[in-house]
Each structure stands twice: as structure tokens, then as C-alpha cells.
């Protein structure tokens, strides 16, 4: 079997570790460590690679590496990378490449895609890339899959002119991972090396109910994009739980929920950082394809972000659901969110100007939530020979 010790509320059984209970109860594990209590979810990091002005783009990638190291030291469960294209303010266009670097720069934390957008790739390429990552870092790789393009229509076509339906692509991906193509399938003779039998832990991600239901039917972990689609959270989680079928992966549903977070030493400072994030988001959505600006740059330029009423409503609807404030304010917000949704894991997305401010935000949250750098970091354990059946 691959992987290390079980997570809190996740136990191994023959062949596969399975999620057995939720909400979890505080108890002493065999190694003497304690698990989290009811409504005390695991915490993870979702990195969009925001690019700040005044430094080369490579600084954003260096910062992503430092963020993963901080997450590992602080006790976050996993570090995930988002995927976006043709945005000068997000350096997150190639998750597999960045994850290879981050996994080599860390030693224990799980790393993965949140999400890799399957329609942008050949399923064989994904199986080979993530199979390579799993072979290099056994038991540490997550493959979170999404259905969107993460780009405008022109960019999406440039990425993959031969796009196929997500369901077909997902079926092919599993076929390459497990060698389960039917005898008469044209890809029956193709072997994904080293993808075959080197299978990362697969999650399905979404902002609505389609991926939620599919994840439930397949018995896979589900992550809802609450940091940008919070109004859909309840419906998506209910769709997942109501459609869940126990599988070789999970005995019970495992809900992951992303949430936008800005934490600073005081509420007022966090509000100011969030106000700047709002301005930079508006710039990006209004077609200004540049790195995030500092407040000083905006003030000196006298810049006013222009946007339509629709854009303004969207930005405000997104940011209004984020948890912003000092450590106590954010800790209360996260605890209440976990209690109201029953989420097993919260994935924190902090998309702001300033690399040091972002590192500080994650560090303050870890301290406020009682992470100590020694908590169990593994999700449902994985084992050789895992297969997910589709159809």
C-alpha cells in the first residue's frame, strides 16, 4: 500500500482507506495524536498564483513554492493549484508543471490540482503527467478535475481544438489509469507510462450540481467552488450527499468546500486589503490584463475601475461571501461555515495583491485555528489497484 498514516476521521481497511464517519469526533490515534472535533474541519490551501506588480512574474512562482512550504510547516492538509489561462494576473496555467516543482520542494503535505480542467487536455497526457507525479511522490498527489475551460472561447480553442465531452474524457482518463478499455476500443493497445497503475487520488470539483452528483455516484470526494459560487453551496452539497454510493474509495461522503479568506492582524487592515482585491478583480474582469496593482499605484494613477452594473454585482456577490478580518474574526467565520455546511475540509483561497501579505494571511489563519504543524495531512488513503467504475 502507498501513503502514510490515516487522516483524522479516515481509517485504512484492506486495500483502500475509507472515510468512515462525519462529523468526526475527537479521539486519540494510535500514534498519540488527537483528531479534530465536531465541526473542526481540516484546512487546506488553494493557490491561484496571483501576480503582483513591481516584480517579475517568476516572483509569483517563487511565492507559490514558499506558500506550499508554509502550508506544510503550519499543518494545512493539502496544497492545491488552480488552473487559469490568458490572465496576466494569475500564474496558474500549468498545474502539473508547478506541482512537480512544489512536491519536490516539500516532503509530506499532499499537493494537487484544484482543478485541472480536463477539457483542455488529452486524457492520455493527463494520465501520463499525473501518473509521473504519483510515481515520483507516492501517496501525495491529488488529481482534482473540473469541467470548465478556465479561459475565454478563443483561448480554450487554442489550448485544445479537439475538445471532447467531459464524461467521455473522464472515462478515457480512467481507462488509461487502470487499463480497462474494452477489447474493441481503439485505445485498448495504448499504455500510459507511468500513468497505468500509478493513480493519484481523484476528486471531482464543481460550482453546481453536475459534478456533485457524478462524484456521489462514483463514491469520490467532492469539492465545491464556494470561493466564487457560494450561493450554490447548499444545493451542490445536498446533491452530492443524496447521490452518494459507497465505493472502494469512500464509505461515506467527503465534502470539501473552498472559501475566500483574507486575514490580517486587525479587522480594519484586512478590510483594506480586501477592498484592494475588489479593485484588482474589477480591473481583470473589465479587460485590463495586467498584474495586480498596489494601493499606492492606484492612488498615484488616480485610477477608477470601470465596470458595468452586471460586473459590479458579480464581484460584490463573490466578495460578500468571503471571510475577511483579524484572526479571531476569521476563525469564527470558518468555524461557523463548517458547522452550517458540515464540510469535512475547507480549502482557503486568498487572491490578493502582495506576496508577503498573502503568506501572512495563511500563517495567521493557521495559528488562529490551532494548526500546529503536526496534524495528520492525509485524506482518504490510497492503495495500489484502485479502480473507479463509470457507467
Query: To which H or E segment does residue 203 belong?
Result: strand 201-206
Strands in 331-380 per DSSP E:
345-349
Query: To which H or E segment does residue 73 belong?
Result: helix 58-74
Per-residue pLDDT tens listing for the chain (391 residues): 233 322 222 222 222 234 333 333 323 323 333 334 455 799 999 999 999 999 999 999 999 999 999 999 999 999 999 999 999 999 999 999 999 999 999 999 999 999 999 999 999 999 999 999 999 999 999 999 999 988 999 999 999 999 999 999 999 999 999 999 999 999 999 999 999 999 999 999 999 999 999 999 999 999 999 999 999 999 999 999 999 999 999 999 999 999 999 999 999 999 999 999 999 998 888 889 999 999 999 888 877 766 677 777 888 889 999 999 999 999 999 999 999 999 999 999 999 999 999 999 999 999 999 998 744 444 444 333 355 655 4
Those residues with Cβ within 8 angstroms of residue 125's Cβ, 6 or more apart along the chain or in another chain: none
- In DSSP notation, 219-286 reads T--EEE-HHHHGGGHHHHHHHHHHH----SS-SS--EEEEEEEEE-SSHHHHHHHHHHHHHHHHHHHT
Those residues with Cβ within 8 angstroms of residue 89's Cβ, 6 or more apart along the chain or in another chain: 50, 51, 280, 284, 289, 290, 291, 292
Instruction: Provide the pLDDT for residue 310.
Output: 72
Calculate the dihedral angle through the C-alpha atoms of 233, 349, 366, 94, rounding to the nearest 10 degrees: 120
Q: For residue 324, give the 3-state DSSP assignment.
A: strand
Kindly report the backbone phi and psi dihedral angles of residue 261, in degrees, each rounded to the nearest multiple of 5, phi listed first. -140, 135
Instruction: Provide the pLDDT for residue 4.
Output: 30
Those residues with Cβ within 8 angstroms of residue 272's Cβ, 6 or more apart along the chain or in another chain: 295
- Please tell me what DSSP assigns to residue 296: H
Q: Could you tell me which of 116, 140, 129, 104 has the C-alpha nearest to residue 194? A: 129
Can you tell me the distance from the alpha carbon of 7 to that of 294, in angstroms, rounded to the nearest whole number? 40
- Please tell me what DSSP assigns to residue 87: -
Question: CB atoms < 10 A from the CB of 200, how many?
Answer: 28
Instruction: Provide the pLDDT for residue 204.
Output: 98
Instruction: Provide the pLDDT for residue 305.
Output: 63
CB 71 within 8 A of CB 48: no
- Please tell me what DSSP assigns to residue 344: S
pTM for the whole thing?
Answer: 0.87
Q: For residue 27, give the 3-state DSSP assignment.
A: coil
CB 118 within 8 A of CB 172: no
Cα 156-157-158 angle, rounded to 5 deg: 90
Instruction: Provide the pLDDT for residue 355.
Output: 97
Which residues on neighbouring strands pair with residue 259, listed in sequence order?
A: 348
List Cβ<8 Å contacts ≥24 apart for 92-97: 92/47, 92/48, 92/49, 96/126, 96/129, 96/130, 96/133
Cα 162-146-315 angle, rounded to 5 deg: 110
Amino acid at each position: 500500500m502507498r501513503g502514510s498514516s490515516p487522516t483524522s476521521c479516515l481509517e485504512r481497511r484492506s486495500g483502500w482507506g475509507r472515510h468512515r464517519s462525519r462529523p468526526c469526533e475527537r479521539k486519540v490515534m494510535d500514534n498519540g495524536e488527537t483528531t479534530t472535533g465536531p465541526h473542526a474541519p481540516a484546512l487546506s490551501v488553494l493557490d491561484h498564483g496571483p501576480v503582483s506588480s513591481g516584480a517579475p512574474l517568476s516572483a509569483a512562482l517563487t511565492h507559490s513554492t514558499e506558500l506550499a512550504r508554509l502550508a506544510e510547516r503550519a499543518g494545512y492538509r493539502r496544497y492545491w493549484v488552480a488552473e487559469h489561462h490568458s490572465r496576466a494576473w494569475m500564474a496558474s496555467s500549468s498545474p502539473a508543471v508547478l506541482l512537480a516543482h512544489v512536491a519536490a520542494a516539500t516532503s509530506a503535505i499532499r499537493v494537487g490540482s484544484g482543478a485541472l480542467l480536463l477539457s483542455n487536455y488529452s486524457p492520455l497526457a493527463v494520465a501520463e503527467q499525473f501518473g509521473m507525479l504519483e510515481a515520483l511522490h507516492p501517496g501525495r498527489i491529488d488529481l482534482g478535475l473540473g469541467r470548465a475551460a478556465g479561459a475565454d472561447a478563443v483561448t480554450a480553442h487554442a489550448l485544445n481544438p479537439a475538445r471532447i465531452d467531459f464524461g467521455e474524457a473522464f472515462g478515457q482518463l480512467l481507462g488509461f489509469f487502470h487499463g480497462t478499455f474494452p477489447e474493441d476500443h481503439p485505445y485498448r493497445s495504448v499504455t500510459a507510462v507511468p500513468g497505468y497503475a500509478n493513480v493519484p487520488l481523484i476528486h471531482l470539483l464543481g460550482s453546481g450540481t453536475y459534478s456533485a452528483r457524478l462524484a456521489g455516484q462514483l463514491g469520490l470526494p467532492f469539492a465545491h467552488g464556494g470561493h466564487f459560487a457560494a450561493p450554490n453551496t447548499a444545493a451542490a452539497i445536498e446533491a452530492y450527499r443524496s447521490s452518494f454510493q459507497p465505493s472502494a474509495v469512500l464509505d461515506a461522503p467527503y465534502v470539501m468546500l473552498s472559501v475566500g479568506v483574507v486575514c490580517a492582524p486587525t479587522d480594519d487592515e484586512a478590510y483594506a486589503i480586501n477592498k484592494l482585491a475588489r479593485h484588482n478583480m474589477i480591473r481583470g474582469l473589465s479587460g485590463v490584463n495586467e498584474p495586480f496593482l498596489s494601493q499606492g499605484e492606484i492612488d498615484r494613477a488616480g485610477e477608477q475601475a470601470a465596470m458595468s452594473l452586471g460586473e459590479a454585482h458579480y464581484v460584490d456577490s463573490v466578495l460578500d461571501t468571503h471571510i475577511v478580518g483579524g484572526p479571531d474574526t476569521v476563525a469564527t467565520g470558518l468555524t461557523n461555515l463548517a458547522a452550517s455546511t458540515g464540510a469535512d475540509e475547507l480549502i482557503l483561497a486568498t487572491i490578493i495583491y502582495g506576496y508577503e501579505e498573502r503568506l501572512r494571511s495563511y500563517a495567521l489563519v493557521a495559528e488562529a485555528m490551532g494548526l500546529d504543524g503536526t496534524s495528520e495531512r492525509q485524506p482518504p488513503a490510497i492503495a495500489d489497484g484502485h479502480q473507479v467504475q463509470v457507467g
